[in-house]
A and B are shown apart, each in its own frame.
Chain A
Amino acid sequence: MQKHYWNEYQKEIAADRYFYARSCIRQTFFPGSETAFLKILQDELGKDIYDSADQHTCSGIGYHGDVVPFLTTSTVIARLFSLMTEAGYKNYVPSCITSFGLIVEVLDTWKHFPETLEQTRESLLKATGRTFEIPENVAHPSDIIYKFRNELKSKMKYQLIEKSTGRPLRGVEHIGCHYAKVFPDKGVGGAEFPHVLAGMIESWGGEVVDYPERRHCCGFGFRNYLVQANRGYSVSNSHKKFESMAPYKPDFIIANCPGCAMFLDKWQYTIAEMEGKTYDEQGRGIPVFTYEELAGLLLGYDPWKLGVQIHQVQAESFLDKIGIEYNPDEKYKGASGEELEHPQKPSVLKV
C-alpha cells in the first residue's frame, strides 16, 4: 500500500471565530484576494472572522530584511495580539506567509525562552500601556480553505476540468518557504510533502503536477528583491522553476504566499522580455492565482472583482478552458463603471 507521508504532519486548525491579520504584500498586489477570503468565510461558510481597522504590519519584511531587531518585531506582533485580545478572539489568522512563519518563530521562542516573552510584555506595556493573550490557534488562511475544501466544493459552480474534453486541469502548487520549512509541524503535510494546496487542487477536480524543482524557493529572498541590484537572484530562481515545470504543461499555478504568487506571475513577463521565452504553447504564459482567487473563480465570483486582471499573465486562457463565465467588457472598467485606458501590451507575452 502506498504510504502518504504528508498524513504524518497534521495540524490543528480552528473551526471558527478568527482574528484576520492582513498582509502588506497581499493587500498591495492582490487586494481582491483578501476581500474574497472574508466573503468565502462569512458568506459561504458562515464563520465569524474579525477584520480590525487598527491593524498594521507585523514588520516581517523588515525583520527578514535585517533592519528590524527581534525584540522590536516580537513587540509589534504582540500589539497585533493585543488587538485580537481586545476584540475577544483567540484564533489568529495571518494572511501573509512571512507573517505566519515569523509568528510561529516568535511563539516558539517565547515557549523555549520564557524570559523573551516577559521582555516583550514589558516592552509593549511600557510603549503602549497594552497587554495581550497568546493566541490559542494560529492558522494560515490557506489552512482554513484546506480544512473546508470539501464543503466549498459542494458550493462550487465549476471544477478544475477542461470543459471541451473532460480532462482534469494540471496545477502547479507552490508553497511559500516560510509556511513549513522552519517549523514543519506547523504546516499541513510538513515541509517535504505539504498538502495544503495539493489538497485543494485534488478536491476541486484537478491534477497536481509533480516536477523536480517543486520545493525550490520562488526567489523573493527579501533583500535579493528589495534592492534593485540584487534582483538577478530573484528572477533566476523563478526561471529555474519555470524551466523545470514547463515540460509537464501546467494549466495554472497556485501559491499560498502572496510574494510567491506575485513573483511567479511578474517574472514570466520579465523573462519573456529578457529572453523572448514564454512557458506555455500559446505564448501567453502560465496563469498564476492565489488560493483565494482559485476558490473564488470556482465559486463563480466575478473575475474582475477578484482582481485577476491586475496579474501580468492574463487569466482568460484558464477561464475559457473551464468555461467560467465573464464579461470581457467589464475587464478594464473601474469601480465607478468608467472604462479606463488599457495597459500597454508587453512586447513578447501575449495578452
Chain B
Amino acid sequence: MIENILDRLKADIRFQEGLTSCMNCGICTAICPAAEFYKYDPRVICNIVQSRNINEIEQLLKGDEIWYCGQCMSCKTRCPRGNAVGMVITVLRKLSQETGYFVESEKGRQQFAIEKAVGQNIINQGYCVHPDIATYENHPEQGPVWKWYLDNIEELSTKMGAIYKQRGAGALRDVGEENLDEIKKIFEVTGGMAFYDNIEQASQKAAEELGVDFQEEYFMKVYSENSGNHNR
C-alpha cells in the first residue's frame, strides 16, 4: 500500500481545483459520454475520492474505471459546483502510473502503447500526431481515401501547400534537430523522460508476468486486446 496516497493526490493543483465538495448530484454522470458507453460512473469516482478511504482509492488506481474517461470535460460545464471530474481523473491516472499500479488493469496497460506512439513521437519528430505514425494498417477505419493520401503524400500535401519533411515554415515540415534537442532537454529537466521510463519499466515487468515477449508482442497486445468486459 502507498501510505501517502492522499497527500500525493491533494498535492496536485488539478486535484485541488477539480474537486471541491461534491454533493453527489450525478449530473456529471448524466452528461458523461463514457458513462453511457462503459461501466463507468464519475459520480462514484468523486464519492470514493472524497471518502478518503485509502483502500478504495488504491483499488481505483489498480482498476479499469479511471481509464474510461474521454477527457471531453463536459462534466465541468454542467457541475453546479464547478468541479471537473475529468481533471480528477487526470490526477488519478498520473498517480496510477507513478506507483506502477496501471499495469494491473487491461485499460491501464494501454498506457504503454500511448507512450510508445504519441509520447516517443513528440521526442523523435516534434509532433504528437503525424501522417507517418497514422498508418493505414493500424487505422483501417480511416478508409481508402486516407490510404490514397498516404500512398501519395508528397504529391498531395505539396498541392495543398505543405512542405512534408522539409525544413522551413509550413505544414508537415521537418521540425529540425536543434528544436528536437531542446524538446528532449525539456523532457529531461521536467521529469517527462523519467515518466516515460517508468511506464516502460513497469510494462516490461508486466509483460514478464503475463508471459508475453516485451519486444515483439506486448505493444500489439495492449494496443489491440479488448476483453469485452467494459461496456454496459
Q: Which residues of A contact B (CB under 8 A)?
A: 22, 24-28, 31-32, 34-35, 51-57, 59-62, 64-72, 75-76, 79, 101, 109, 112-113, 116, 123-124, 126-128, 130, 177-178, 181-182, 184, 191-192, 215-217, 219-224, 226-233, 235-237, 266-267, 269-270, 304-307, 309-312, 333-336, 338, 340-346
Contacts and interface: CB of A to CB of B under 8 A. Distances in A.
Contacts of B111: 66-67
A32 to B, nearest CB: 3
Interface residues of B, number: 89
B37 A233 contact: yes
B72 A181 contact: yes
A178 B73 contact: yes
Contact of A340 (B84, B152, B175, B178): B152
Closest 5 CB pairs of A and B: A334-B155, A221-B70, A35-B161, A72-B192, A343-B148
A148 B130 CA distance: 31
Contacts of B71: 64, 221-222
B145 A76 contact: no
Interface stretch (B2-10, B43-51, B112-120, B207-215): B112-120
Given A312-B143, A338-B155, A181 B76 contact: yes
Given A28-B130, A217-B33, A269-B143, A227 B169 contact: no
Given A24-B130, A57-B122, A340-B156, 12 more contacts: A25-B128, A54-B178, A56-B127, A65-B118, A66-B90, A66-B97, A79-B183, A101-B73, A112-B17, A221-B71, A222-B71, A334-B152
A340 B161 contact: no
Nearest to B223: A228
B160 A35 contact: yes
Given A22-B171, A28-B129, A344-B144, A123 B190 contact: yes
A233 B107 CA distance: 13
A221 B72 contact: yes
A240 to B, nearest CB: 8
A72 B187 contact: yes
B72 A75 contact: no
Given A27-B172, A66-B94, A128 B185 contact: yes
A229 B158 contact: no
B16 to A, nearest CB: 9
